[in-house]
């Protein structure tokens, strides 16, 4: 609240406004205790200082997520903060540990997806942005850690979103501890599936909401010791029973009545129903249908929901039969009977409804009439039957209807609980309470009285919790709080529920007397509570009364209080329905004990309501409470509309303002030390500059300003109400003085600048005038000089003109004579040239014809000769085929074919060489002739020049005589002859050029023919290669047959051989074969390990008993040796894993790929599986990843599916969908020249020398299993690195708060700040160190670089997701200083990528594009000047509009105090998001790490295979 001390002229304040609740303005004038304020909407208001609140001008533009952080914790500050956040689609806000949820009236799916739940799982409360998941997570963690049950109280008025919030809570709790039910539905799903049933029978239309819950629902989610959901139960409280019989316009009764009236026609005819207007319980209001809601559709949906819940069809029919009976029961009207004070059904219509009611309830109509119209009074002497008057019969009818409906609703709840399943052994639970909020209408009756009574009880519980939280905060900070008073609302509760003088007790007393009316009841209230401060008697009414609740005064109309409160337990009703022939109806009214049925005991709804409320409060008191207050922003139920007055009323009703009032009673303003120093350090800069502790600095600042009553805790400063405003006033004064000093300096600077400019302008004007005079003088001199020059030029022009005419005449004569001579010469040269061309063409044609005839004859001769030789060879081959065997014949034929092809190849090579040599010689000759012709032309030109010089000299030296003309003729002839020679030389040059062109054309044709021959040569080489392969296979088969024959011969003579020698020789042969294969070269230890002592030294008796070993036993022995060998770390040779090469050579040598059954594959897979059991040892995993990938590469190149293997496709999964599934396809495109060198020897020819084997099913299955293991090992290695860096990433995310707490302004703290910066960057260095160690491990084990790049790409993507999501979820991370901090960390990662090189880092740095662009946006200056196009296309092209909007609204500059982007950009972003609101994916502003990090890497590409092969 403002005081004269802190409210001055120019202060920004809040003042009350009838339409806007609160409006901001600036104090323009002070008049004693009043202030004149210029508001922001243009009005001028005068208000008392006690009704003015200061406004925080330094509040963040996007508001605060916890309103306890507000500098001024008062009503307008809270309202403005909620409005700002709502405009930014931030619908959740904390007030301490209370969550305020504003209904957005639009879909926000990104706030509730599984990824968002994962973010809030285990996060400390308040670390992330406010969310309903955070409240549920705190409750769950408290239950797990402390073993105590928790409850979450969701309250708010109709339409505020309580039910949706409850659904979100249950979804998150199921996410944390979900279990799958036996029917395939989780407990959370079953609870939600029960909602349509409960809404149909417990919800109704009210004034403010079309689907208002008229009962309280407490969902108990039960957990076992492991924190898993073990069961659930739904407890309902305070059902509004009176609504069954009495409703007011424009409300409706419970939905189920209208649904049944809109049922299919056969149902309506079955129950004799009709339009809702025809039933008394429904036509009390003129509202029968809801806009946009189909009752017929909802009826079918309710029936389906009943099926899901487990209600059988028979039970459903019984339920709706009871509902129809209630409608018919309401239409029974009574009139006076023949006897005094008796009643009977009014007319035939009433009798029809009476009979229908009896038929539907399956009871006797006469008994039903007696139960409604008569009462049985039991006395010690006799049993008396007493008739009821029509009014009493009507009351009896309504009581029966309310009782039946209440029992039906309780049965539905019990049935739902049985369907869900409860855990009787559960030790802890989390309860979610969804109950109606405080109500205050124009007309408030008994229902509003009960609802507000409930909210008073809940508010008391809420106040106690808030005060307890305040006490815990004060105790945590170790400050004195003993003098703080706690104001409770116990007086209101005593007014309502106290016995015997409370309102409820007086109401029950009035209901027990038959002659009591609402007037007598009101008079009783007036007399009893005339001096009560909470009870107010209206001046203009004799039956109304007002109660001052915590949320405000509510005027109640007591007209129907007595009727709605009556709830007799009528034995006649009990006896009637318990005897029903319908088992369902009889089950609703079980037989009561005999002593209970003897007398009719009075019961009221108020008393029952009070008892249920007491049970609810006992349940809540036994749990740890958490509060969620739901707020409806407007009554139009539309998005983006924020009605201040409406929301202020809801905040009062929800107790939020009451909680603020409790906080204001103590220390409403709390500031961390560093925040307090940053804001108020200007009040005492000398203290801040001194080397003091933060706590000491805060104390000295407050003491210097003379404040009293404050407290300094361990980490915060606690200020009383008004002290923050006083400090801000002092700070504003200091800043104002500083501003005046700055203005003084600026004005001085501007005046001096203006004087200097004026002096400079004066000097400039003077220089201009002097220059003007000089220009005039210069102009006169210039004109005089110009006249002289003109005269001179005219005279020169006339002389030159006469000379030019004379010269032109001479030139014309010379030109005519020379032209005649040139034309004559041109005609002669043209004729000569034509003759030469004709000679050239004829000679060329003659030579070409001769060459073609000669070439054709040569080809014919060669073809005939080659055919003759070929026929001769064919006869020889046929003769040879008859003499040799089939195998020898094929071999010789192939050898001869190879020799022939080799000879052809050599012949083609020689022909190509000869052709190239001939072509080179011809080109050389042409070039030499061209050079000689050029030399001749040069000599002729030089001679011509000399002749012309000699002629010119002769003409000059000749005397001027009459013979001069004859000399000229002789010189002209000589010139003509020389010119003819030049023309002939030019013609020869042209001829040589044509010959050169012909030579080049022939060269191009020869080149094309050579290329065609090269292609044919390559095809021939390919055929030769294939023939060689087939030849080698035949030779290998022959060798294998010979070796098998040799083994059989050895077995025949093995009896005579020594057993020990045989065994040692067999072992040596194995070692020799392994050595020959190149597997164990350079490492003798494995070879020694392969031969154990027990194998080499066997006893003679054992060998003598089994002198002859079968082939299977030898294979088993070989397999044992192989398994023992590969189980050890064999290392690498030549960057190749030895174990993989040994396995491959052994399997190939034993022909294991071609057998139908073998166990060696399973044993190899088992060995690999046992080796990688230790998932934390990256060295072992990397070793086996290298071996497995190499072995898989060899298998992909060697194995090919056979017909037998293709018989069982269903047993093999598709290989193309796995990590290495496309290796076979990639290998088909592998170049021929790529080599794969094994370890020292084997398969020196490379991959191309590997022969393909037709693999059987075991081999193909082994390949698939090996593929799966490669994927598994890859995933284990990647996950290990993620686990290692995750804690460091968490420290990097937490670092911003630590940095702001440790970095304090002041030059004396620079050393401490630099040390803190080093400590912060250490987290990033730890990540870089982990990446470096991991890379070294992979390098040491020669893991293929492709896999290394893929691992680091996914790890960097993981880092990008974690950092980016933390930036969007934590407001303290979205700051300028944090941007600089993360930018420094990213620089460390970039430096690591540079050191790792592209071979291993690949495109990992590009995966950080989201966080890089976001950080770049945070640290740029002048954000308000940036347009949306610049931001979205230039600065942050990768980020979506939702992400940019989130960053822009959460950004705050804790270093320089700058602002975020302009409001125009924010508005444009909001428009774009609204247009795209239907797209659920685009609405999500968080990155999803599941879609990219959990999938296996891409299948091997051709590029990877080439890289792997060439290592």
Question: What pairs with residue 1401 in β-bridges?
Answer: none
Dist CA 1073 CA 1403 (whole Å): 44
Do 58 and 676 contact (CB within 8 A), yes or no? no
Q: Is 804 a catalytic residue?
A: no
Do 231 and 423 contact (CB within 8 A), yes or no? yes
CA nearest neighbour of 1283 among 1209, 1212, 1334: 1334
If one counts every other C-beta atom within 10 angstroms of the C-beta of residue 533, the result is 10
Kindly tell me the sign of the dihedral angle through the C-alpha atoms of 1420, 1422, 1424, 1428.
negative
Dist CA 30 CA 5 (whole Å): 12
Dist CA 11 CA 1239 (whole Å): 86
CA nearest neighbour of 397 among 345, 362, 437: 345
Q: Which residues contact 425 (CB under 8 A, 6 or more apart)?
A: 224, 230
Q: Which residues contact 666 (CB under 8 A, 6 or more apart)?
A: 470, 474, 481, 484, 718
Could you say which of 240, 333, 439, 694 is catalytic? Answer: 439
If one counts every other C-beta atom within 10 angstroms of the C-beta of residue 199, the result is 20
CA nearest neighbour of 476 among 240, 262, 716, 664: 716
CA nearest neighbour of 1131 among 1336, 1342, 1345: 1342
Q: Is 242 a catalytic residue?
A: no
Could you say which of 93, 97, 206, 212 is catalytic? Answer: 212
Do 1362 and 1293 contact (CB within 8 A), yes or no? yes
Q: Which residues contact 789 (CB under 8 A, 6 or more apart)?
A: none
Do 279 and 228 contact (CB within 8 A), yes or no? no
Dist CA 775 CA 1452 (whole Å): 64
If one counts every other C-beta atom within 10 angstroms of the C-beta of residue 1136, the result is 19
Q: Could you give the angle at the alpha carbon of 826 between the alpha carbons of 824 and 828, nearest 5°?
A: 75
Dist CA 343 CA 390 (whole Å): 5
Could you say which of 437, 502, 1221, 1306 is catalytic? Answer: 437
Q: Is 212 a catalytic residue?
A: yes
Do 366 and 536 contact (CB within 8 A), yes or no? no
Q: Could you give the angle at the alpha carbon of 65 between the alpha carbons of 26 and 175, nearest 5°?
A: 160
Do 594 and 64 contact (CB within 8 A), yes or no? no
CA-CA distances (angstroms) from residue 1449 to 66, 617, 1339, 1454, 1457? 16, 41, 45, 15, 15
Dist CA 1328 CA 706 (whole Å): 52
H/E segment holding residue 526:
helix 518-528
Could you say which of 71, 81, 195, 209 is catalytic? Answer: 209
Q: Is 736 a catalytic residue?
A: no
Could you say which of 159, 161, 330, 1306 is catalytic? Answer: 159
DSSP state of 19: T
DSSP H helices, 1341-1375, are 1345-1369
- 63 SS3 class: coil
Q: Is 209 a catalytic residue?
A: yes
Could you say which of 6, 71, 206, 213 is catalytic? Answer: 213
Q: Is 437 a catalytic residue?
A: yes
Dist CA 314 CA 360 (whole Å): 14
Half-sphere exposure of 132 (CA within 13 A, CB side): 27
CA nearest neighbour of 449 among 604, 231, 333: 604
CA-CA distances (angstroms) from residue 637 to 104, 280, 640, 666, 1289? 9, 31, 10, 37, 43
Half-sphere exposure of 1364 (CA within 13 A, CB side): 26
Dist CA 168 CA 620 (whole Å): 21
List active site positions: 158-159, 163, 209, 212-213, 437, 439
């Amino acid at each position: 609240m403002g005081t004269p001390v802190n409210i001055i002229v120019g202060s920004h304040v809040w003042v009350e406004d009838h339409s806007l609740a609160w409006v901001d303005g600036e104090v323009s004038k002070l008049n004693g205790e009043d202030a004149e304020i210029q508001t922001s909407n243009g009005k001028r208001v005068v208000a008392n200082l006690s009704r003015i609140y200061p406004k925080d001008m330094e509040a963040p533009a996007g508001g605060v997520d916890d309103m306890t952080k507000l500098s001024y914790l008062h009503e307008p500050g809270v309202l403005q903060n909620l409005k700002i956040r709502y405009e930014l689609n931030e619908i959740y806000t904390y007030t301490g540990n209370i969550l305020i949820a504003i209904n957005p009236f639009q879909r926000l799916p990104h706030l509730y997806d599984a990824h968002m739940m994962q973010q809030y799982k285990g996060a400390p409360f308040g670390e992330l942005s406010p969310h309903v998941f955070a409240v549920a997570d705190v409750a769950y963690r408290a239950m797990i850690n402390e073993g105590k049950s928790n409850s979450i109280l969701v309250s708010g008025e109709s339409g505020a979103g309580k039910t949706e919030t409850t659904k979100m809570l249950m979804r998150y709790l199921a996410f944390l501890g979900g279990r799958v039910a036996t029917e395939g539905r989780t407990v959370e799903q079953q609870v939600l599936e029960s909602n349509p049933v409960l809404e149909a029978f417990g919800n109704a239309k009210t004034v403010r909401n079309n689907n208002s819950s008229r009962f309280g629902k407490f969902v108990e989610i039960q957990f076992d010791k492991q924190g898993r959901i073990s069961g659930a139960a739904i407890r309902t409280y305070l059902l509004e029973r009176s609504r069954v019989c009495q409703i007011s316009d424009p409300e409706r009764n419970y939905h189920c009545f209208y649904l049944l009236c809109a049922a299919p026609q056969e149902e309506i005819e079955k129950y004799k129903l009709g339009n809702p207007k025809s039933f008394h319980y429904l036509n009390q209001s003129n509202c029968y249908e809801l806009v946009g809601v189909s009752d017929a559709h909802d009826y079918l949906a309710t029936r389906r929901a009943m099926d899901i819940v487990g209600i059988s069809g028979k039970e459903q029919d019984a339920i709706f039969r009871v509902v129809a009976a209630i409608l018919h029961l309401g239409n029974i009207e009574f009139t006076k009977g023949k006897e005094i004070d008796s009643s009977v059904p009014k007319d035939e219509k009433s009798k029809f409804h009476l009979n229908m009611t009896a038929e539907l309830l399956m009871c006797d109509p006469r008994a039903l009439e007696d139960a409604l119209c008569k009462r049985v009074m039991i006395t010690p002497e006799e049993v008396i039957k007493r008739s009821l008057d029509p009014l009493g019969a009507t009351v009896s009818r309504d009581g029966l209807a309310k009782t039946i409906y209440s029992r039906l609703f309780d049965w539905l709840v019990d049935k739902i609980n049985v369907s869900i399943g409860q855990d009787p052994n559960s030790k802890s639970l989390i309860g979610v309470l969804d109950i109606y909020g405080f109500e205050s209408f124009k007309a408030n009756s008994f229902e509003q009285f009960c609802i507000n009574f409930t909210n008073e009880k809940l508010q008391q519980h809420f106040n106690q919790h808030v005060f307890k939280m305040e006490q815990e905060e004060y105790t945590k900070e170790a400050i004195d709080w003993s003098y703080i008073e706690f104001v409770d609302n116990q007086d209101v509760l005593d007014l309502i529920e106290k016995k015997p003088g409370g309102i409820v007790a007086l109401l029950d007393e009035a209901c027990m007397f038959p002659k009591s009316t609402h007037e007598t009841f009101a008079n009783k209230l007036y007399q009893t509570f005339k001096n009560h401060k909470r009870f107010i008697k209206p001046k203009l009414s004799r039956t109304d009364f007002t109660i001052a609740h915590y949320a405000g005064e509510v005027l109640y109309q007591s007209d129907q209080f007595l009727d709605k409160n009556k709830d007799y337990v009528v034995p006649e009703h009990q006896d009637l329905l318990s005897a029903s022939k319908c088992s369902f109806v009889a089950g609703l009214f079980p037989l009561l004990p005999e002593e209970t049925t003897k007398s009719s005991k009075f019961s009221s709804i108020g008393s029952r309501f009070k008892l249920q409320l007491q049970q609810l409060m006992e349940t809540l008191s036994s749990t740890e409470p958490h509060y969620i207050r739901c707020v409806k922003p407007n009554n139009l139920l539309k998005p983006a509309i924020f009605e201040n007055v409406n929301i202020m009323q809801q905040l009062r009703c929800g107790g939020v303002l009451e909680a603020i009032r409790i906080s204001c009673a103590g220390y409403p303003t709390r500031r961390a030390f560093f925040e307090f120093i940053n804001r108020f350090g200007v009040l005492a800069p000398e203290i801040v500059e001194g080397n003091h502790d933060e706590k000491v600095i805060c104390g000295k600042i407050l003491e210097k300003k003379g404040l009293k009553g404050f407290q300094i805790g361990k980490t915060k400063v606690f200020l009383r109400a008004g002290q923050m405003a006083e400090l801000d006033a002092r700070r504003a004064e200091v800043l104002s003085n500083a501003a005046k000093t700055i203005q003084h300096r600026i004005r001085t600077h501007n005046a001096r600048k203006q004087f200097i400019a004026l002096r400079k302008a004066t000097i400039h004007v003077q220089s201009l005038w002097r220059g003007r005079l000089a220009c005039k003088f210069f102009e006169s001199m210039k004109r005089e000089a110009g006249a002289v020059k003109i005269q001179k030029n005219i005279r020169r022009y006339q002389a030159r003109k006469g000379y030019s005419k004379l010269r032109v005449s001479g030139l014309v004569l010379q030109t005519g004579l020379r032209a005649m001579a040139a034309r004559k010469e041109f005609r002669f040269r043209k004729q000569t040239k034509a003759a030469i061309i004709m000679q050239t063409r004829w000679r060329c044609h003659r030579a070409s014809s001769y060459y073609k005839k000669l070439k054709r004859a040569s080809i014919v001769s060669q073809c005939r000769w080659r055919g003759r030789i070929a026929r001769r060879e064919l006869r020889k081959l046929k003769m040879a085929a008859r003499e040799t065997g089939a195998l020898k014949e094929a071999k010789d034929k192939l050898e001869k074919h190879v020799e022939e092809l080799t000879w052809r190849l050599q012949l083609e090579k020689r022909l190509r060489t000869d052709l190239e040599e001939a072509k080179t010689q011809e080109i050389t000759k042409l070039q030499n002739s061209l050079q000689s012709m050029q030399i001749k032309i040069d000599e002729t030109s030089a001679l011509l020049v000399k002749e012309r010089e000699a002629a010119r000299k002769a003409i000059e030296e000749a005397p001027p005589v009459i013979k001069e003309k004859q000399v000229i003729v002789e010189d002209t002839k000589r010139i003509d002859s020389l010119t003819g020679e030049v023309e002939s030389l030019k013609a020869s040059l042209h001829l040589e050029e044509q010959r050169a062109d012909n030579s080049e054309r022939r060269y191009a044709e020869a080149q094309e023919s050579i290329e065609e021959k090269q292609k044919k040569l390559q095809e021939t080489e390919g055929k030769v290669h294939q023939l060689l392969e087939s030849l080698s296979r035949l030779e290998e088969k022959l060798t294998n047959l010979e070796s098998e024959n040799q083994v059989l011969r050895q077995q025949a003579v093995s009896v005579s051989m020594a057993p020990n020698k045989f065994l040692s020789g067999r072992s040596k042969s194995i070692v020799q074969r392994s050595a020959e294969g190149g597997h164990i070269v350079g490492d003798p230890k494995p070879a020694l390990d392969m031969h154990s002592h027990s194998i080499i030294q066997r006893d003679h008796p054992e060998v003598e008993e089994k002198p002859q070993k079968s082939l299977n036993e030898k294979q088993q022995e070989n397999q044992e040796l192989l398994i023992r060998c590969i189980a050890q770390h064999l290392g690498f040779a030549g960057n190749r894993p030895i174990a993989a090469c040994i396995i491959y050579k052994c399997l190939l040598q034993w022909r294991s790929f071609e057998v139908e059954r073998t166990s060696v594959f399973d044993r190899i897979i088992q060995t690999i599986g046992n080796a990688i059991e230790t998932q934390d040892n990256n060295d072992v995993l990397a070793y086996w990843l290298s071996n497995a990938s190499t072995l898989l590469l060899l298998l992909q190149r060697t194995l090919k599916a056979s017909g037998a293997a293709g018989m069982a496709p269903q047993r093999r999964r598709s290989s193309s969908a796995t990590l290495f599934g496309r290796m076979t396809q990639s290998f088909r495109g592998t170049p021929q020249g790529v080599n794969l060198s094994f370890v020292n020897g084997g398969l020196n020819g490379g991959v191309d020398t590997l022969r393909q084997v037709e693999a059987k099913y075991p081999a193909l299955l082994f390949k698939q299993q090996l593929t799966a293991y490669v994927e598994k090992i890859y995933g284990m290695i990647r996950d290990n690195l993620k686990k290692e860096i995750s804690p460091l990433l968490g420290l990097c995310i937490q670092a911003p708060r630590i940095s702001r707490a440790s970095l304090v302004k002041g030059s004396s703290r620079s050393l401490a700040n630099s040390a803190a910066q080093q400590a912060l960057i250490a987290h990033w260095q730890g990540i870089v160190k982990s990446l470096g160690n991991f890379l070294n491990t992979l390098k040491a084990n020669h893991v293929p670089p492709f896999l290394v790049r893929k691992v680091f790409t996914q790890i960097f993507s993981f880092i990008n997701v974690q950092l980016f999501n933390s930036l969007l979820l934590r407001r303290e991370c979205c700051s300028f200083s944090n941007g600089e901090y993360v930018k420094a960390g990213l620089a460390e990662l970039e430096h690591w990528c540079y050191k790792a090189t592209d071979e291993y880092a690949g495109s990992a740095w590009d995966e950080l594009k989201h966080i890089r662009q976001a950080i770049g946006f945070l640290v740029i200056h002048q954000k308000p000047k940036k347009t949306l196009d610049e931001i979205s296309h230039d600065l942050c092209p990768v980020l979506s509009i939702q992400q940019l909007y989130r960053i822009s609204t959460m950004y705050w500059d804790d270093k320089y105090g700058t602002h975020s982007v302009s409001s125009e950009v924010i508005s444009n972003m909001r428009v774009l998001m609204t247009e795209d609101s239907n797209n659920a994916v685009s609405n999500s502003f968080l990155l999803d790490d599941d879609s990219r990090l959990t999938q296996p890497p891409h299948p091997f590409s051709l590029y990877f295979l080439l890289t792997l092969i060439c290592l």
